[in-house]
Structure 1
Amino acid sequence: MPHDISWDEYNAHQHGRAPRQLLLEALALRRPDVDEALADVPGGAHDVVPAPPVGAPVAVDLGCGEGIEVEVLLAAGWHVHAVDGEPAALARLVARVDPAVRDRLHVQHRAFGEVGDLPAADLVHSSYALPYCPPEDFDALWRRVRGALRPGGMLVVQLFGVRDGAAGTSGMTFHTLAQVQGLLAGLDLLHWREEDEPGTSFTGPKHWHVFHVVARRPAVG
């Protein structure tokens, strides 16, 4: 993020956008019956929230920002631990959430380097956020992410590659293909896309090098 743009400014600008497609696809993979529903909904996955899974599963959203995906998960019946380093975004999220489901929302104001052990989770989600974990904190955070996944739990993340336009930025972490494969070792890969092309960002044109990942911890082992 450029020094003249604050995280609070970025987060506030996110309000009103559609939920990230990667999370919706992951929820559809977890509930195969959602795939049929998507085909009948005008506009596709952006317009549907999957039905609540039985048993009120637990999700962790790391770097949740304004909480767009947190609201999707709450609406689908999940208990959500929303973690972010920006207190203003967390406050806006809490204020927006329907009081009827607020007891299923647990917010933590933590920078990535301050995150301790995470609750056991059926899903760990982090949308374009983990690359902003400083390199010296990334390995410890990743161990906690992997350690939080219950058997059968899903990991839904974006990681930045070394050809990303922001590569080399102080305080950010970038990975080679081989490194990402190492991070995912032992997980079942459900969705994989390597994006390596020009595009746009909040601050203007940018070259994106992003690994879009949905993976699952095996149900046994």
Structure 2
Amino acid sequence: MHAFDIEKSAIDRCRQRFADIPQVDLSQSSFINFEYPPCQLVVADASLFFCPPEAFAAVWQKVDDSLQPGGVFCGSFLGPEDTMAREPESEQTFWKTVTVLTEQKVRLLFEEYHVLSFTEHKRSGLTPQGTPHDWHIYAVVAQKG
């Protein structure tokens, strides 16, 4: 199993959590610099939308190339109605660095896949910090042809 994060603290936490599991290979890396190994499963839940928009096409190509025929992708994509997708009122949001995709663009990513599940989630509520937030997420489970 391979996993990466750009934050050293996240890698350190995972190294402690998975210390007894030698099959877990952890790397501190960015989306664009990670060497995606051939695999049968990609889990990218609440992560790919933090890929810089200008790098997303290249990163998606790497993800797609690494997933072997018959392999499964499970992940989520940020929709345009999410609070993080809108221009901020303050500099405390991620709007310049997140990748936002329409439903059509997400579906195009999976043209060569058998889509097992495609769910659009829209919900308003409060973040754990008590800040109002509108969530708009496309969750996809798809098998590569």
Tell me the TM-score normalised to structure 2 length: 0.88
Larger mean CA deviation between 145-154 and 198-207 belongs to 198-207
Q: Read off the aligned partner of 1:159 and give its amino acid letter.
A: F
| Larger helix proportion of the pair | 1
Q: Please give the alpha-carbon distance, in whole angstroms, between the structure 1 residues aligned to 2:144 and 2:42.
A: 11
Partner of 2:32: 113
Question: What is the TM-score with the length of structure 1 in the denominator?
Answer: 0.59
- Structure with bigger strand share is 2
**Correspondence for 1:187:** 113
Identity between Structure 1 and Structure 2 (%):
29
Q: Judge conservation of contact 1:198–1:205 (CA < 8 Å) in 2.
A: yes
Instruction: Give the SS at the match of 2:83.
Output: coil
Aligned in 2, Cα 1:186/1:170: closer, same or farther, shift over 3 Å? same
Any unmatched runs of 5+ in structure 2?
Answer: 87-94
Q: Deviations over 1:111-133 (max 9, x none)?
A: 223224x1111100111011111
- The letter for the 2-side match of 1:207 is D
Q: Structure 1 residues 161 and 124, CA, compared in 2 at 3 Å: closer, same or farther?
A: same
Structure 2 distance, partners of 1:200, 1:147, is 37
Aligned to 1:12: none
Residue 14 of structure 2 corresponds to which residue in structure 1? 93
Query: CA RMSD of the aligned region, Å?
Result: 1.3
Cα distance in 1 for partners of 2:19, 2:37 equals 23
1:176 corresponds to: 102
Residue 124 (structure 2) pairs with residue 198 (structure 1): yes
1:138 corresponds to which of 40, 52, 56: 56
Q: How far off its partner does 1:94 sit?
A: 1.0
Mapped to 2, the partners of 1:150 and 1:210 lie a distance apart of: 25
Runs of at least 5 residues in structure 1 that lack an aligned partner in the other structure = 1-79
